[in-house]
Amino acid sequence: MSNKDNLDIAHLRSFLAVADTLHFTSAAYICSTSQSTISQHIHRLEAQLDCVLLKRSTKQVELTDGGQALIGMAQNILRQQERVLAHFHKEQLHATLRLGITEDLVLSRFPEDLRMFRQDYPQLQIDLTVGLSHHLHQLLADDRLDIVCGMRQSSDTHGQLLWEDELVWFSHASTCSLAPDESFPLVTFPDRSITRKLAIETLNRIGRPWHIAFSSTNLSAILAAVRAGYGITPQPAFLSAEGIVPVDASTLSPMPRVEFIASVQSSNSDGPANAFIKKMKTRLNKKQKMFSL
């Protein structure tokens, strides 16, 4: 097999850097090399593939159709290399972890988890996506994320269980007291949200009239709406924010418990994603033992 039959990983990295920035100088900075080296890598890659990947001019760089097609394939090749190296060198992870988490975790325990993980794997780059659970799991299914940490109903079975928690009604102090027959002002996420689904099921079960007073895909916006007096929101018990308080449990029916999980694709079961899950479980187990003393 000749060298022409082997793709050079360094050439692919240089190409992806140029494809991302559309600028040779910026690509050289990202790859910690010279602009001339980046140019050589692209030239050799184009010669090997017998395809023009980039349109160059004095003012701009553009991707050709061939260049667009190569992006996804090159990313997959690099990810597979990272997984191989991570599997056989777990103590020295040098890779990128594409992590998806729900926004409530960003506002709670996630920074502590990430700090502890970074202490063990300082060379690992994190590419973080924050969103709703159903959207993150779709990205995972499309191989655009390596791991998703979020919420599931206790009746679901997908993902690895990390911990479980209660859902609590939160409101501003001025909207805590509602007459029994007053329509319940619900501040929540859009359709397909687990907390929205469970809140509506709970209100319907007790025959309580309700209406959507405020809806957003952004948790910070939801909390701001609660502070502004729009209504009451169902959130995990661990969530705390200035200006909101739990509603007296005796005035409303309690909601089901939820579970927080980590999900990976079966092909990603080794390497950085698995190491991150193990780190989270280790920290949670230590905390549970402390509480049981």
pLDDT of residue 69: 93
* 153 and 99 part of one domain: yes
pLDDT of residue 275: 74
Domain of 175 in residue numbering reads as 167-256
Q: Which domain-ending residue is among 69, 87, 105? A: 87
pLDDT of residue 90: 53
Say if CB 274 and CB 99 are below 8 A apart: no
* 150 and 277 part of one domain: yes
pLDDT of residue 289: 40
Q: Which domain-ending residue is among 87, 108, 125? A: 87
**pTM higher than 0.75:** no
Structural domain total, the chain: 3
pLDDT of residue 276: 79
Cα–Cα distance measured from residue 243 to residue 187, given in angstroms and rounded to the nearest whole number: 15
Instruction: Point out the residues of the chain with pLDDT beneath 50.
Output: 1-2, 93, 287-293
